[in-house]
Amino acid sequence: MSRPVRVLLVDDDPLVRAALTMMLDGAPGISLVAALADGDEVPAAIDRYGVDVVLMDIRMPRVNGIVATRRLRARPHPPEVVVLTTFDTDDHVVRALRAGASGFLLKDTPPDRIVDAVHRVAAGEPILSPAITRRLMERVTTSTDAYERARSSLAALSPRERDVVLAVARGRTNAEIAAELTMTVATVKAHLTHILSKLDLGNRTQVAMLAHDAGLI
């Protein structure tokens, strides 16, 4: 992006907010527009600042990060959301991803990786650590109904689109998908646009979750 990525931080822990504010304020290519203490403050901040990426805590006293994320994704042209979590909130993270978050970060992630994650999410790449994603997926119990719904949805895709879905579910970037499937990055992006439209999904993270429900990974 030619201009700084506008970031909104939402976390009810004042120490976490202070630490992340210090780190993000000095990060190249990032503009921290506000630091909030609860999810109920998010809509007004989005309207005021035109946010690109929200770093969202999960557990907050009035409106938690899952509800706030779901509400954001229902808005026209929503910002990308990255949830902030710890290892003991795996189930909440899965719910947040299903709500439309583009990924998640552990709160003890090194500062340079947080900055890199913000830039990647703003550029349309999900932030899903392979090791932690594997752990999350293992904890999800997919019901028969969810499996059948997912398989039915994916049946609407062409074989090439299904290949792209599988690559997305494996955490591949657009460039990696292009190399694996022998196509251009522009073609990968076009496939993803069609996939999201056909499946009525908001982002590639939800595509990966659907592929998991269908038993593809």
Are the C-beta atoms of 183 and 174 separated by less than 8 Å?
Answer: no
Count of CB atoms within 10 A of residue 200's CB?
8
CA-based radius of gyration for the chain: 17
Identify each DSSP E strand in the chain by its residue range.
5-10, 30-36, 53-57, 80-85, 103-106
Tell me: the pLDDT tens digits for 91-122?
A: 667 777 788 888 888 888 888 888 998 998 99
pLDDT at 123: 86
Are the C-beta atoms of 36 and 10 separated by less than 8 Å?
Answer: yes
pLDDT at 85: 78
How large a percentage of the chain has pLDDT more than 70? 87
pLDDT at 140: 54
In terms of Cα–Cα distance, which of 136, 125, 152, 138 is closest to 92? 136
Residue with tokens 């999960």: 58
pLDDT at 89: 58
In terms of Cα–Cα distance, which of 143, 134, 68 is closest to 101? 68
pLDDT at 68: 93
Q: How far apart are CA 118 and CA 148, in angstroms?
A: 35
Residue type, 45: A
- 6 three-state secondary structure: strand
pLDDT at 133: 61
Please give the average per-residue pLDDT across 20-31, as a whole number: 91
Tokens coding 211: 């592929």
Please give the average per-residue pLDDT across 187-207, as a whole number: 89
Q: Mean pLDDT across the chain, nearest whole number?
A: 85
Tokens coding 105: 């970060």
Among 4-13, 86-95, 143-152, the range of highest mean pLDDT: 4-13
pLDDT at 131: 54
Task: Judge residue 46's burial from the number of C-beta atoms within 10 Å of its C-beta, 0-12 exposed, 13-18 middle, 19 or more buried.
Answer: buried
Q: Which domains does the chain have, with CATH numbers?
A: 5-138 (3.40.50.2300), 142-213 (1.10.10.10)
Greatest distance between any 2 Cα atoms in the chain: 49
How large a percentage of the chain has pLDDT more than 90? 43
